[in-house]
Structure 1
Amino acid sequence: MQDVIKGSTMPVLEMQLAAGESIISMHGELSWMSANIQMSQTTNTGGPGGGGLFNTLKRAVSGGGIFLTQYQAQGSPGLVAFASKVPGHIVPVDIVQGRGVLVHRHGWLCGTPGITPTVALQQSFRGGLWGGEGFVLQRLHGQGRAWIELSGELCQYRLAPGQTMLVHPGHVGMFDESVQFTITRVPGIANKIFGGDGYHLVALTGPGQIWLQSMPLSSLAHALEPYLARDGAAATAEGVGIGGIVGGMLRNQ
């Protein structure tokens, strides 16, 4: 199995599989594949603790749905490709027993059999764009390699034991399972994205590695909000163009 990341602003992950090799992903992540790739649905990743009703339900809560999709090359080498949804980066990460990672809701593109995705946190915020979805993290554990999509530019920090970074929830891309996290609220400060419920931050406390993304979709949507038509008003040509782009992005999320 070989992975090739092509492009820069909107990267594409190409997985080149030998005959009989397979990878797994959440349903709907596929962009294109060679004709000899066989797709099948599964609820079991093949890793320790990967099956069972409890883990399946936890995965559904995290936003990934009940079923995973498996792609297997039949008879000869094959290719499966996953295109990024927004400008950013695709990052490979190796996962071993006892060292998992936590990833933002839409970050996991695909992984080798043995990677198990479940929900790590679902925190609701009142009002604003986050009111209906909240702050959701996926936990990836097991044994193998996963590929993660992070939006915008990427900043990495290694936190020492007890060292804390306060991060806007949308900028949290991924972090080691050894990093502790809590949701904290700064009272008395209005935040248009979160409505009137104060300013929410995620406290990440080491030890461990954290990956932060510069362009969360919530911030992008908020920045483009003045250009979008609402309440049945006629949109400008600029609004129609931007609305179509953003609408496509959000539908893919």
Structure 2
Amino acid sequence: MRHKIIGTTMPVLEIGLEAGEKVIGVPDQLSWMSGDISLTTTMAGGGSSGLFGIMSRAVSGGGLFMTEFHAERGPGNVAFAAKLPGNIMATEVGGAGYLVHRHGFICGTPGIEVASAFQQTLGGAVFGGEGFVLQKLSGSGTAWIELGGEIVTYELQPGQVLLVHPGHVGLFEASVAFELTTMRGVKNALFGGDGLFLAKLSGPGKVWLQTLTAPGLAHALSHYLPSRQG
């Protein structure tokens, strides 16, 4: 198996599969493919077993179904284009695994497991009614992750704390402790009430932050969209 990331601002992940190789991804992530590639959609992909595992993956943003892209008799290519300006990164998953933002997982090798790790409603004005959700990536293999905008990386030492706007949380090692906290005294019209929600990340472990969020982009564009009438 080989992969390459094409482009800069709107990158494309292209994976080359030899006969017998496969990757697992969310059905609507595929952009194009060539060669001897077969598609099989199933509820059992992504390490899910039983109804609870399937529902956990669905809540995390992975969906009820996963698609297996399989090169059966000969080689082929599958490509996944980024949905936002940003970056696509390959991550080797093992041990305790990683937590990633709701729509971060693009695809992975068959040993990758996708499940829900955290969910909380913070306000539709910021998260489009979806709430704040984290995916848990575990198992063993390679996962490809999409992060919006530029990537800022921190290596947190034991006990070191980083406070982050929830939308900028991209990816972090499972060794990093996570909780949502409120900064009182900060009036925030987006979240409502007298307080600002922030994600509290505590080391040890590595953290990848994303500078562009989908809600932030939508908010910036909303001023240029026609207003609704009636």
Please give the TM-score of this superposition, normalised by the length of structure 1. 0.86
Equivalent residues, number: 230
| 1:227 is the counterpart of 2:224 | yes
The answer to whether the Cα contact below 8 Å between 1:151 and 1:213 also exists between their aligned partners in 2 is: yes
Aligned-pair Cα RMSD in Å: 1.6
Match of 2:148 in 1: 151
1:197 and 1:119 mapped to 2: Cα distance? 29
Structure 2 counterpart SS, 1:133: coil
Q: Identify if the C-alpha distance between structure 1 residues 197 and 121 changes in structure 2 by more than 3 Å, giving closer, same or farther.
A: farther
Structure 1 counterpart SS, 2:73: coil
Query: Which moves more between the two structures, 167-176 or 128-137?
Result: 128-137
Gaps of 5+ in 2: none
Deviations 1:5-29 (A, max 9, x none): 1111111000000011000011210
Structure 2 counterpart SS, 1:129: helix
| 1:118 is the counterpart of 2:115 | yes
Match of 2:137 in 1: 140
The answer to whether the Cα contact below 8 Å between 1:93 and 1:146 also exists between their aligned partners in 2 is: yes
2:226 and 2:2 mapped to 1: Cα distance? 45
| 1:94 is the counterpart of 2:92 | yes
Deviations 1:145-168 (A, max 9, x none): 000000001111110011010000
Match of 1:166 in 2: 163
The one-letter code sitting in structure 2 at the alignment partner of 1:27 is P
Match of 2:13 in 1: 13
The answer to whether the Cα contact below 8 Å between 2:124 and 2:130 also exists between their aligned partners in 1 is: no
The structure richer in strand per residue is 2
Deviations 1:69-102 (A, max 9, x none): 1000121110000000111110111011x32000
Match of 1:205 in 2: 202
Shift of 1:190: 2.4
Shift of 1:131: 6.2
Query: Which moves more between the two structures, 53-62 or 107-116?
Result: 53-62
Moved over 3 A (4+): none
Match of 1:248 in 2: none
Match of 1:54 in 2: 52
1:46 and 1:140 mapped to 2: Cα distance? 9
The one-letter code sitting in structure 2 at the alignment partner of 1:19 is A
The answer to whether the Cα contact below 8 Å between 2:82 and 2:88 also exists between their aligned partners in 1 is: yes
Query: Which moves more between the two structures, 166-175 or 180-189?
Result: 180-189
Shift of 1:186: 1.4
2:143 and 2:43 mapped to 1: Cα distance? 17
1:133 and 1:182 mapped to 2: Cα distance? 18
Match of 1:187 in 2: 184
